[in-house]
Amino acid sequence: MSDIFSNVLYVGPLNTFGGIGAVLRTYEKNITDFNFIATHKDYSKIGSSFYFIYSLFHLNGLLLFNRKIKIVHIHSASKGSFIRKIIVVLFSKIHQKKIIFHMHGGQFKEYHKKLTWEKSVYSSILKEVDLFICLTEEWKSYFQENLGLQNVLVLGNPVKIDNVIKHKTYNQVISLLFLGSLNAKKGIFDFLNYIYTNSYFKNKQIKLTVGGTGEVDKLTNMIKRTEFLDQINYIGFVSEQKKIDAILDCDIFILPSYYEGLPVSILEAMGYGKPIIATRVGGVPSVVKEQKNGWLFDAGNFKQLDAIFDEILNHRFPLHQYQTNAYEMASGFSTENIIMDLSNHYQKLINE
């Protein structure tokens, strides 16, 4: 299987904290022949532009001189990321390579709505790629109906699955875990404003652990301004074993986002048998099923959490079954399964 991956060049952002970066790091750890070009680093706007130009020269050189590369697998989000990847498509076309366009952007619908004359241009370019990958069936329908794409494949994000599910019993206090970027789009600041008013939280029956990076000062200031310092713990950015420990320690994982593709963080938590509270956005409802492995609420409508916490704190749901269901649903996104699917699609493209 390793031979096929030597024929693939991966193109995407080189960032430490983003969802695409997490996916690419997983590929890198599990693919022996991992050829990669970064198109973006977290520099200033001008610095990032110069870095992208450098990346295009690097791309051009690799496609000219590395004769083994037959497929360019492009990973994209929305906005600037999308425009950069469209340019990469055109470069790859010049070199007559097979092209896979892999869309991760949870905000793509909103971005696409604002486009005018560019819509038809981008659609015509994407129709020329050999395979378009998105994260869920809902996204597949969107790209088929709104961009007119036919060559669309659904492929989930790869995650580590724990070998054995560890069932956990809740007591009178539940511990929630949020892992993600600290910004308004992830809903963490609005969630804090809500939870300070929740009666269970005020009665010390809910604890919250927050991990991530971004607007750290805003988060810590919001925590300091409350009387609930002993119930909220900010643990900074976590990865590797620290992330696993944080997931294992929590009772329920929460992600109150306003936009998502298919969150790696949710799949990771499910991979350790954790029930999920999340919003009905993007591909989230495809993996978080009410009365099965978690609870959903409308983005921004935090009052809907009152009934959810009431159900949880009064144990009106089959806890161990939710944990088992979460674990079993995540198993389909195991790194091994996703890598095997990728290799099959690469082989098919090369054979064509």
Cβ count near 74 (within 10 Å): 23
Residue carrying structure tokens 């070998």: 163
Could you say which of 3.40.50.2000, 3.65.10.10, 1.10.3720.10, 3.30.930.10 is the CATH number of the domain covering 174-331?
Answer: 3.40.50.2000
**What's the mean pLDDT in 89-108?**
96
Give the pLDDT of residue 164: 81
Give the pLDDT of residue 17: 64
Residue carrying structure tokens 């790194």: 335
Give yes or no for a contact between 271 and 264, defined as CB atoms under 8 angstroms apart: no
Cα 234 from Cα 102, distance rounded (Å):
33
Is the confidence at residue 2, as pLDDT, over 70?
no
Give the pLDDT of residue 324: 96
Give yes or no for a contact between 154 and 333, defined as CB atoms under 8 angstroms apart: no
Cα 350 from Cα 251, distance rounded (Å):
45
Task: Collect all residues with Cβ–Cβ distance below 8 Å to 134 and sequence separation of at least 6.
Answer: 103, 140, 142, 143, 152, 153, 154, 155
- Where in the chain are the domains? 2-158+334-351, 174-331
Which CATH number describes the domain made up of 2-158+334-351? Answer: 3.40.50.2000
**What's the mean pLDDT in 302-314?**
96
Give yes or no for a contact between 304 and 323, defined as CB atoms under 8 angstroms apart: no
**What's the mean pLDDT in 27-41?**
92
β-strands 35-40, 8-13 pairing:
parallel
- Mean pLDDT score of the chain, rounded to an integer? 93
Q: Do 174-331 and 2-158+334-351 fall under one CATH topology?
A: yes
**What's the mean pLDDT in 29-49?**
88
pLDDT tens digits along 191-218: 999 999 999 999 999 999 999 999 999 9
Of 5, 4, 3, 22, the closest CA to residue 13 belongs to 22
